Chain A
Amino acid sequence: MVSTRQVGAHARRSKGALRSFWPQYLAISPFFVLFLVFMLFPVLFSVVLAFQKWDGLGEMEFVGLRNFEFLLKDSLFWLSLKNTFLIWFMSTVPTLFLALVIANMLNSSVRFTGFYRIAYFVPNVTSVVAVAIFFGSVFATNAGLINVILGWLGASPVQWLVNEWTIKLVIATLICWQWTGYNAIIYLAGLQAIPTELYEAAKIDGAGPVQTFFRITIPQLRPIILFTVVISTINGMQTFTEPQVLFSSNVANSANSGGPGSAGLTAILYFYREAFNNNDYGYGAAIAWAVFLVILLFTAINWRLVSRRARAS
């Protein structure tokens, strides 16, 4: 064990630190080496790419800000952003609400808690591709389970994967299914960290369960809720696999179009299509950076909104 005094002494002279702590540095190096090669370098390279025209194989041509000029006029890019926001909203709000409800139920349940926790977490570790294929079959117009059930109830079949709104609904449902359990487990951890004295005090003061929930549980959970909102924002803005797989049967006809009316074309799917299907890597990089800026802005807004309310109460 290295004593704290030693650490302090070495920290002043970093060269010495490197010499005496090399095994520790070596031990953590795999992550940083992999990060440098597979994350940092591509990130920096994409900055360069955003200012080039490049087909992936030939010479790069510097085009200045032209890719970004195209971006501003590109109606499909704006549509893809709109789609992304709508899908994010349609998935995140129910996900977080349901997660909170489930976490509360898990927190109070007495039997089989371990089983429930695992059961709710399983969707999150299931392959998105497999789930998307499954959802594609469930929501199929002719042969899909949902429409069969609707048929039993006497309703006419819905073209889930054709209509602009139902496409978004299907994608949002898929995301919701996948992330509710994950968020519930996080909330559960937060719930269990709330001191029981608070609840006891509330009980003594005569508060009912609803009052306790809104006056004690929610305020105490704020930092956790903030965390889940930020994570959901970052994930939701990058929705890609779901629409890509759901509409992949169209690949031969129209690669990664995001379904009829491009209603499922998310920003990341659009970036992927421009770069890898249409061989316009420069433009793809420009889209990716634009999306990055949007996520940054949007996360900041969410942060402000949620944390301000925390202060207000």
Chain B
Amino acid sequence: MELSRRHLLLSFAAAAIGGTAACGSGGTTTGGTGGGGAKELTLWYWGGGLSDKVVADAVKQFAGKTALKPSVIGGDFKQKLVTTMNGRKFVPDITGIKGENIASMLEEADRFIDLNTLGADKLASQYVDWKWKQGSTKDGKLIGFPIDIGPTGMFYREDIFKKGGLPTDPAKVSEEMSTWDDLFAAGQKLIKAVPEAYIVSSAEGVWDVVVGQGSKRFIDESNKFIGDQAHIRSAWDVVMKALQLGVVAPKFDGQDTNAALTNGKYATQIGAAWVALDIKNGAQGTEGKWRVAHNPVGPANIGGSFLALTQQCRDPKLAFEIVTWLLGPENAARGFADAALFPASPATYTSSAMTEGDPFFGGQKTIEILGEAAKKVPVQYEAPADAAVGQPFKDEIVNVWTKGKNPDTAWNDAVATAKQIAERQGVS
């Protein structure tokens, strides 16, 4: 086709009309697949947020009842969702909500449907209680239905532990490093035997886990700042002790993280279940050398997401049916196998997909550790401003870690900045 002005204009017009039509599909158009109810339902999630295979099956499964239109939304998911919800047009019927955004979404609970009114309360016992509470408002409305969770464990290099004269068996590691002090002492022993092998890979990482092990965070349920209290101070002291004993690796980012994982500078990675995937992708050539044990003291949760129905949902009953189908025990196990989504339903942990030994972990059945951790995560209240208020502590930990800033000065600076942010965010 010759590129004339007319052709160009025509193609623009066609694109514009096509675009409008695509958007308009959120309106009244009926899909050809509509058998029973001639409606369609839209589902928003981000890449890797759900198993694409399970979603594709859901489209087939519900083809007789509705045209399920899934879209993988790229970029800043929360921002796009919020913008669309403000526009009140083309709002998805079913949407994913990332773990870090659930607290702020709960503040706007009236923009979503209380899933308990659709019978979700009957399913509550199937899911770990702390996750269920994370998706619920203070007055008991369920907004977020659990997709996956991130129970923590300690991933460690068996070969390096052996060289350092430390226990290598997961049960033994869990037992002998059951407190942070034990772990750091083992770290001192390790670095003497194997130079440049650090038992703690990240000071921030330890901080996240220690804070996640308690029942309180930075803001309490009456919206009061409690980040200067004993529970946070003792978490701070744990991190400072690790830094002071010299068992924490230097701070690495990006490419360097993978290098450190591969060359054994990181003897462990303490983190959520999904960290296993990062290690598999990043640490090439270390297959079979990794194991997972319980991290000291007890598990925390890091990450994990939810599905929610928006107030604009055109058929809440059917949409809820789709949600429970997508996240039911059988498909949750597939989600784990396919997209490394760790299920929130303990019943799934006995399914064959999850009880298989993992060759990357030398054939270890990782679910024995992580499944147990999942059940023991404490219930924590997380306020919408929690991440913002907690940030100064992380910033100051990095200052102590990378620049040797005086820990007491760092603590005072962190508390002062956190208080300022709390005030700005309307926390008393």
Complex Cα distance, B408 from A302, in Å, reads 42
When the two chains form their complex, are residues A253 and B255 in contact, meaning their CB atoms are under 8 A apart? no
Q: Are B256 and A142 in contact (CB under 8 A)?
A: yes
Which residue of chain A lies nearest to B396 when distances are taken between CB atoms in the complex?
A261
Beta-carbon contacts of B384-411 to A below 8 Å, as 1s and 0s? Answer: 1101100100110011011100000000
Q: Interface 1/0s, chain A 73-113, versus B by CB < 8 A?
A: 11110000000000000000000000000000000000000
Q: Could you say which of B79, B108, B256, B403 contacts A276, with CB atoms under 8 Å apart?
A: B79
Give B110-149 as 1s and 0s: 1 = Cβ < 8 Å from A's Cβ atoms: 0100000000000000000000000000000000000000
Known: A143-B256, A280-B425. A262 touches B395 (CB 8 A): yes
Contact B395 A254 (CB under 8 A): yes
How distant is the Cα of A262 from the Cα of B391 in the complex, in angstroms? 11
Contact of B259 among A76, A142, A280 (CB under 8 A): A142
Are A249 and B254 CB-contacts (below 8 A) given A257-B395, A278-B388?
A: yes
Q: Quick check: B424 and A70 within 8 Å, CB to CB?
A: yes
Range class of the B interface residue count: 35 or more
Check: A168 CB closer than 8 A to any chain B CB.
no
Q: Which of B50-58, B245-253, B329-337, B374-382 contacts A (4 or more CB under 8 A)?
A: B245-253
Q: Give chain B residues whose Cβ lies under 8 Å from the Cβ of A255.
A: 387, 391
A250: Cβ under 8 A from any B Cβ: yes
Stretch in contact with the other chain, from A53-61, A171-179, A211-219? A53-61
Shortest distance from the beta carbon of A71 to any chain B beta carbon, whole Å = 10
Interface check A247, CB cutoff 8 A: yes
CB pair A58–B108 under 8 Å, yes or no, is: yes
CB-contacts of B65-111 with A (<8 A): 76, 79, 82, 85-86, 104-105, 107-108, 111
Stretch at the interface among A115-123, A157-165, A180-188, A235-243: A157-165
Is the pair B255, A144 in contact by a Cβ cutoff of 8 Å? yes
Q: Does B205 contact A (CB under 8 A)?
A: yes
Q: How many whole Å from B194's CB to the nearest CB in chain A?
A: 17
Interface membership of B420, Cβ < 8 A: yes
Q: Is A279 an interface residue (CB 8 A)?
A: yes
B208 within 8 A of partner (CB): yes
Assess the A278–B250 pair: CB atoms within 8 A.
no
Q: Is B312 an interface residue (CB 8 A)?
A: no
Nearest chain A residue, comparing its CB with the CB of B111? A57
Contact residues in B for A307 (Cβ distance below 8 Å) = none
Closest chain B residue to A136, Cβ basis: B254
* Chain A contact residues: helix, strand, loop or mixed: loop
**Which residue of B86, B104, B105 has the most chain A CB atoms within 10 A of its CB atom?**
B104
Tell me if B417 counts as interface (CB < 8 A to partner A).
yes
Query: Which chain B residue shows the least CB distance to A66?
Result: B424
* Distance of A262 Cα from B395 Cα, bound (Å): 7
Evaluate contact between A140 and B424: CB separation under 8 angstroms: no
CA distance A257 to B396 in the complex (A): 11
Distance between B111 CB and nearest chain A CB, rounded to angstroms: 7
CB-based contact A249/B391 at 8 Å: no
B420-A73 in contact (CB<8A): yes
* B204 interface residue per 8 A CB criterion: yes
Q: How far is the CA of A278 from the CA of B387 in the complex (A)?
A: 7
- B76 & A140 in contact (Cβ 8 Å cutoff): no
Q: Is the CB of A161 within 8 A of B253?
A: yes
Q: Among residues 11 to 66 in chain A, which have CB atoms less than 8 Å away from a CB atom of chain B?
A: 53, 55-58
Query: In the bound complex, do residue A260 and residue B399 qualify as a contact, i.e. CB atoms below 8 Å apart?
Result: yes
What's the least CB distance linking A284 to chain B, in Å? 11
The yes or no answer to B19 lying at the interface (CB within 8 A) is: no
Interface flag for B257 (CB, 8 Å): yes
Interface residue? B426 (CB, 8 A): yes
Report Cα–Cα, A254/B402, bound state, in Å: 15
**B394–A257 touching, CB < 8 Å:** yes
The verdict on B373 contacting chain A, using a C-beta distance below 8 Å, is: no
Decide yes or no whether A124 CB sits under 8 A from chain B: no
Residues B251 and A278 in contact, CB atoms below 8 Å apart: no
Tell me whether B402 and A260 are in contact (CB under 8 A): yes
Interface string of A147-164 (1 = CB under 8 A from B): 000000000000101111
Check A247 against B259 for contact (C-beta < 8 Å): no
- Which chain A residues (239-292) contact chain B, with CB distance < 8 Å? 247, 249-250, 252-255, 257, 260-262, 276-280, 283
Is B260 in contact with chain A by the CB < 8 A criterion?
yes
Q: In the complex, what residue of chain A is closest to B260 when comparing beta carbons? A: A142
Q: Are A253 and B205 in contact (CB under 8 A)?
A: yes
When distances are taken between beta carbons in the complex, the residues of chain B under 8 Å from A74 are: 420
**A220 within 8 Å of B (CB atoms):** no
Interface: A299 (CB within 8 A): no
B387 partner residues in chain A, CB cutoff 8 A: 255, 277-278
**B78 nearest in chain A by CB position:** A276
CA distance A289 to B279 in the complex (A): 43
Chain A residues with CB under 8 Å of B395's CB are 254, 257, 261-262
A228 interface residue, CB < 8 Å from B? no
Known: A75-B417, A253-B205, A253-B208. A141 touches B399 (CB 8 A): no
Q: Inside 8 A of A278's CB, which chain B residues have their CB? A: 385, 387-388, 391, 421, 425
**Interchain nearest-CB distance for B87 vs A (Å):** 12
A254 contact set on B, CB distance < 8 A = 204, 391, 394-395, 398
| Besides A142-B259, A280-B388, 9 new A-B residue pairs in contact (Cβ under 8 A), listed by A number | A56-B86, A57-B105, A141-B252, A162-B251, A164-B403, A253-B202, A253-B208, A254-B204, A257-B395
23 pairs across A/B with beta carbons < 8 Å? Answer: A53-B426, A56-B82, A56-B86, A70-B420, A140-B253, A140-B254, A140-B255, A140-B256, A141-B252, A142-B252, A142-B256, A143-B255, A144-B256, A159-B250, A159-B402, A260-B398, A261-B402, A278-B388, A278-B421, A278-B425, A280-B424, A280-B425, A283-B424
Q: Which are the 5 A-B pairs with shortest beta-carbon distances? A: A278-B388, A142-B259, A140-B255, A143-B259, A249-B254
